[in-house]
Amino acid sequence: MSSVPRPSVLLLATVMCVLGAYSPAAGAPFIWDDFQIVRDSPAVSNPGGLSDFFGSAFFSNLETEPGGRGYYRPITVLTWALDHAVHEANPSGYHLTNVFLHALNALLLVGLLRRVGVSALAANVGALLWALFPRLTEAVAWISGRTDVLAATWVLLALTLWRPDSWSRRALASAALLLGLLSKEVALAGVAALAVLELRAPQKSRGARVLSLLPLAAACSAYAVLRISAVRLSLQGSVIPPSRRATAALEALGRYAAGLVDAYRPDSQIGRLLAPNLAFIVLGGLVLVGLAFAIPRLWRRGLKDLELAGLAMTAVSLGLVLHLLPLSVNIVAADRFMYLPLLGLCLATARTLTEALARLRAPLRATVLAAFVASLGVATWIRTSDWTDEIDFWTKTYRQHPESNGAAVVELGNLYFRAGLYRHAIGVYQTYRDAGDANFGMIGNNLATALQSLGQYRAARQVLRQVLTVFPNTPKFHVSMAFAELSVANFDESRREFDEALRLLPGYPIARDMKRRLPKLEELEKNPPGDTKPELIQRAKHAIDMGRTRDAFKLLDRVLDQGGLPLREAEGALYYALRFADPRTTERVFRAYVEALERRPAPAAVVEAYRLRQESSQRLLALWPELGIKLPPF
């Protein structure tokens, strides 16, 4: 009697291991791009119809990226909209969807590995080794990483459905690949894999072989039509010059090879496109030479059709992220980009590895594999836990390599900014050195805003001039410059900057509204109110409109020195304090708000927002010494 559990028990064990390793994700918040493309996206929270999904770009922020990125992923956005319909703004539901999709992918992989020819036990172990690979946590534990997970689901489903002797199964497989392409462009790897299967299938004639590709061609054509109608075929936004593409490709290949070996140290942003790393370029070259020798040998070995499809999947999915295409990324490599390449590699090598391990004695083989799977599971659980706290995540990411991680500088600086710790935010922003890339633009913009919050108005203007020199066609930066000019009462310059923003983005709401208000602001600037409490409140509101937040809260301090605030003014003051004031001022304004309620209980949402902001500022101050960043002298 065999001691190996039944296949159904093995599948259940595989699912439970995956769900257990990723269980911390259930408590994770929105983080990073989640705010813009998921939580705050109208297409997710309030879709008007299918056109909201299929008629627009995936990542479209006309304020900062007027040219767009050329990404088109309507099915992924649709799944987020379905999550919102069930869970609304609770991120846990979105995370659980990611985890369940990943577990489903593991089960689909088990089925494909069985078709390759390995045993049920080996197939489940192989699927677990892939599913628990720690560098895949970025795709699974991050809501925005669903693009890779969902595209892989459709690719795996297509390979599962495909049969060489059934037109209906071919059509269903091609339809699945269409949905994959509409989830993320990397599903082109599935198109390549299915093409390999079609071309290797036994056919009676060349004509029959061509006809067998028709469903796949129809799926690709449908995708092209939908994409062209929404965002055109082009991709936009690469920051590297053509002369850097070859070395960037080799460096990326070297870094992915290193990531395959160094599985236990996941990273959110890997390498700097504007600062080539010779060691990884050399490693990438060696990997390329090794592949040139290995691929002919693999071919002569007589690989099965699914194994060849796996190799095609790996080659295409990896090729898409080697900077040969003008993708809008500021990093050399990313862990989430390994999701589909590793799937293909698992399909291609499972049978060979199983045969090699079969040479070991059963007890030793079982011990080694069990220890390996367990160690991967623990590492994945730990890394998934990192995603459950935004402050811990970005401070840890920043400490990994403070001078090379643009996203960490942006996000960590923004955390300090949102907590009202403006000097600290400026200190973080000033550590970034890669002038010219997209991170530099946003960091410079946010740095200028932080400087204005400290009353450093002329310094803010100088920073924004540098930003606009590099990014003259970004509407948001012109609006920021308009506010910087307002802060020093340069109304003519401010008007010109608002006009430029409107030229670049017609109908830009904030530019349109502020331009309309400029005459009134100019009149108040010439004839400021007096020093009575109502007049001080009016002056504080005017200072906020002029971009002088520090001056506004100084005026508010004077108001509070004279006594309390009416409830309406207290509510408005607290709203601005939670967004722009330092922790001390925020605490004082909150107390004034509570007093204005006259013993009525404060709304729970307001109390929670105040608590979280003050708690964040305390945590960030406590973590500051660990970052080793100098505070600016002012």
Going by pLDDT thresholds of 50, 70 and 90, the confidence category of residue 1 is very low
Whole-number Å distance between alpha carbons of 123 and 578? 53
Distances 246 to 253, 270, 324 between C-alpha atoms, Å = 11, 17, 8
The tens digit of pLDDT for each residue in 139-174 reads: 999 999 999 999 999 999 999 999 988 889 999 999
Whole-number Å distance between alpha carbons of 127 and 103? 10
Which backbone phi and psi does 241 adopt, to 5 degrees? -75, 160
Domain ranges of the chain: 7-386
Going by pLDDT thresholds of 50, 70 and 90, the confidence category of residue 566 is confident
Going by pLDDT thresholds of 50, 70 and 90, the confidence category of residue 75 is very high
pLDDT at 287 over 50: yes
Considering the chain, what percentage of its residues have pLDDT values greater than 90?
A: 61
The tens digit of pLDDT for each residue in 514-539 reads: 999 999 999 989 888 888 888 888 89
Stronger pLDDT, 561 or 179, i.e. the higher one: 179
pLDDT at 564 over 90: no
Q: Out of 229-243, 257-271, 557-571, pick the least confident.
A: 229-243
Secondary structure of residue 270 in the 3-state scheme: strand
pLDDT at 206 over 80: no
- 79-82's contacts with Cβ under 8 Å and 24+ in sequence apart are 79/146, 79/150, 80/38, 80/41, 80/44, 80/143, 80/146, 81/43, 81/44, 81/45, 81/47, 81/53
Q: Quote the pLDDT of residue 49.
A: 79
Going by pLDDT thresholds of 50, 70 and 90, the confidence category of residue 306 is very high
Extract the tokens encoding 223.
């995708």
Contact 156, 339 (CB under 8 A): no
As a whole number, mean pLDDT of residues 375-397 equals 94
Query: Secondary structure of 358-414 in the HEC alphabet?
Result: CCCCHHHHHHHHHHHHHHHHHHHHHHHHHCCCHHHHHHHHHHHCCCCCHHHHHHHHH
Going by pLDDT thresholds of 50, 70 and 90, the confidence category of residue 211 is confident
Going by pLDDT thresholds of 50, 70 and 90, the confidence category of residue 479 is very high
- Range among 195-209, 298-312, 371-385 with highest mean pLDDT value: 371-385
Q: Out of 8-17, 74-83, 502-511, 531-540, pick the least confident.
A: 531-540
Average predicted confidence (pLDDT) for the chain: 89
In our burial notation (b when 16+ CB lie closer than 10 A, e otherwise), range 338-376 reads bbbbbbbbbbbbbbeebeeeeeeeeeeeeeebeeebeeb
Q: Out of 227-241, 314-328, 403-417, 593-607, pick the least confident.
A: 227-241
Maximum pairwise Cα distance, the chain: 95
Which backbone phi and psi does 276 adopt, to 5 degrees? -60, 145
The tens digit of pLDDT for each residue in 321-375 reads: 998 877 767 789 999 999 999 999 999 999 988 888 888 888 898 899 999 999 9
